[in-house]
């Protein structure tokens, strides 16, 4: 190792908040508390608790995942002010068009959600620091008809393009055991179509995205990247976060091996916990316990 290499600053960490629950929407008090304390005691899926350093000088980017950023934008629990101490925020904003329905009972209706986008861009400081997620695409049966939220995608694409966003991420619902049991409990007749149906739907989505000059990315479903116009997503992308960082600080580009094999995300530390059960009550959710209110 050369002297120059030995004097390099350590790569600062990317914080994910969170894949495991919707912290901005439902746990802003907890999130604000750990940001104020500049550390978080996080219980991981294995049950082990780790302390995560949240000092601004140690954090490269805070990536925030949510279906409702209205509380953060209103500075609930001083969350917006506390996040302002950090160099870079990146928002992954899920809008499926199902908010307020029996599928996503606790989620805001789609128009109310999309109306948050301009304020999110202003807070992020650049439209490339905001990505909408049309995730998941869901199919279900009502009587003899199969229904889906695919028809809402043009509205998501149009609003994204109008606000200057460049990226939309998609996936199809993955029916893990607990989600299947929840659907049965709620007497909801979900449909999990075969791969050919999903690819045909993805072709339609890619055509819509292209018409708005948007980049379309598939999240943890590599077969969708077979469709022209769709690329494999790194929802947390160290190369992009480094490019966008106000001081040009690099972030790790290594694959996050704590995620699923098909996940393209780079290394981050997730500070959410599956014990923080999300009240959005999405029937398809992989993170929630089986019972649904």
Residue pLDDT, tens place only, 197-240: 999 999 999 999 999 999 999 999 999 999 999 999 999 999 99
Q: Domains in the chain: how many in total?
A: 1
Q: Tell me, what's the pLDDT at 9? A: 63
Q: How many CA atoms lie within 13 A of 134 on its CB side?
A: 29
User: How confident is the prediction for the chain on average, in pLDDT?
Assistant: 94
Residue pLDDT, tens place only, 18-65: 999 999 999 999 999 999 999 999 987 778 899 999 999 999 999 999
Q: Tell me, what's the pLDDT at 78? A: 98
Decide if 289 is inside a domain. no
Q: Tell me, what's the pLDDT at 5? A: 45
Distance between CA atoms of 251 and 54, rounded to whole angstroms? Answer: 16
Decide if 280 is inside a domain. no
Q: Tell me, what's the pLDDT at 7? A: 53
Please say whether the beta carbons of 74 and 123 come within 8 A: no
Decide if 179 is inside a domain. yes
Decide if 93 is inside a domain. yes
Instruction: With CA atoms as reference, report the closest residue to 166 among 246, 104, 243, 261.
Output: 243
Distance between CA atoms of 94 and 89, rounded to whole angstroms? Answer: 16
Q: Tell me, what's the pLDDT at 8? A: 59
Decide if 1 is inside a domain. no
Of 30-34, 72-76, 175-179, 265-269, give the lowest mean pLDDT range.
175-179
Domain that holds residue 47: 11-270
Decide if 286 is inside a domain. no
Decide if 3 is inside a domain. no
């Amino acid at each position: 190792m050369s002297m120059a290499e030995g004097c390099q600053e350590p790569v600062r960490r990317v914080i994910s908040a969170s894949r495991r629950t919707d912290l901005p929407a439902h746990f802003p008090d907890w999130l604000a508390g750990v940001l104020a304390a500049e550390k978080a005691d996080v219980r991981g899926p294995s049950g082990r608790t780790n302390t995560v350093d949240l000092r601004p000088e140690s954090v490269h980017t805070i990536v925030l995942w949510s279906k409702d950023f209205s509380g953060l934008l209103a500075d609930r629990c001083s969350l917006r002010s506390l996040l302002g101490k950090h160099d870079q925020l990146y928002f992954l904003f899920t809008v499926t068009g199902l908010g307020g329905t029996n599928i996503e009972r606790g989620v805001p209706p789609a128009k109310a959600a999309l109306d948050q986008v301009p304020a999110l861009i202003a807070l992020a400081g650049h439209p490339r620091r905001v990505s909408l997620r049309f995730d998941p695409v869901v199919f279900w049966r009502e009587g003899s008809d199969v229904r889906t939220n695919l028809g809402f995608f043009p509205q998501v694409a149009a609003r994204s393009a109008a606000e200057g966003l460049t990226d939309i991420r998609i996936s199809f619902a993955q029916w893990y055991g607990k989600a299947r049991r929840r659907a049965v409990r709620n007497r909801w007749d979900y449909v999990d179509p075969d791969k050919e149906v999903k690819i045909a739907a993805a072709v339609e989505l890619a055509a819509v995205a292209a018409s708005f000059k948007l980049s379309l990315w598939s999240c943890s479903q590599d077969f969708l990247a077979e469709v022209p116009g769709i690329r494999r997503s790194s929802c947390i992308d160290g190369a992009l976060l480094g490019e966008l960082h106000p001081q040009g600080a690099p972030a790790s580009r290594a694959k996050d091996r704590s995620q699923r094999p098909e996940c393209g995300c780079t290394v981050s530390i997730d500070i959410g916990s599956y014990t923080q059960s999300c009240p959005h009550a999405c029937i398809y959710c992989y993170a929630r316990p089986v019972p649904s209110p």
